[in-house]
């Protein structure tokens, strides 16, 4: 018999699940660090803090515009109607067609279908109801 003991593989330990950080919070933290402020205590960073390193400061400064652009995108998405960007269903197209034939304006159709005015207009053009 073989006296060698075979190592029993233990199941991999799940890595700690870290909740994703909200973009606004990430921006606040990055902005504070770039200003030399500890984002947790609002105290100035220690003079020997890694975050005060020139390369890290440049990286933080490069991250700020990207986060600002992301925040603007998030804010814009929050203002869009609920169905903006979603595919059109046949029933919805028929409803827009009927509504338009019954005299509903683009504004009314957009509100009713939770679409942008541009989307309703494009759909009406595609259906041959209006010209471009």
Summarize pLDDT for 41-72 with one digit per residue, the tens: 999 999 999 999 999 999 999 999 999 999 99
Residue ranges of the alpha helices (H) in 35-80? 54-79
In a domain, residue 9? The reply is: no
pLDDT in tens, 84-124: 999 999 999 999 999 999 999 999 999 999 999 999 999 99
- Calculate the alpha carbon distances from 102 to 50, 51, 96, 105 in Å: 67, 63, 10, 9
- Residue 89's Cβ-count burial label (10 Å; 0-12, 13-18, 19+) is exposed
Instruction: Give me Rg for the CA atoms of the chain.
Output: 27
How many domains is the chain built from? Answer: 2
* Same domain? 75 vs 94: no
Taking the C-alpha atoms of residue 23 and residue 42, their distance in angstroms, rounded to an integer, is: 19
In a domain, residue 14? The reply is: no
pTM above 0.75? no
* Same domain? 72 vs 113: no
* Same domain? 61 vs 29: yes
User: What does the DSSP 8-state code read for residue 129?
Assistant: S
* Same domain? 65 vs 104: no
Domain around 66: 23-79
């Amino acid at each position: 018999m073989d006296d060698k003991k075979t190592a029993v593989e233990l199941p991999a330990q799940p890595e700690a699940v870290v909740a994703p950080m909200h973009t606004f919070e990430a921006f606040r933290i990055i902005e504070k660090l770039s200003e030399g402020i500890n984002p947790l205590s609002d105290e100035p960073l220690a003079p020997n803090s890694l975050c005060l390193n020139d390369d890290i400061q440049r990286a933080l400064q490069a991250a700020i515009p990207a986060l600002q652009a992301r925040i603007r995108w998030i804010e814009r998405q929050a203002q869009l109607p609920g169905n903006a960007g979603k595919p059109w269903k046949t029933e919805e197209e028929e409803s827009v067609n009927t509504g338009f034939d019954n005299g509903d304006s683009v504004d009314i159709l957009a509100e009713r279908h939770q679409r942008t005015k541009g989307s309703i207009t494009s759909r009406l053009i595609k259906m041959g109801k209006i010209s471009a």
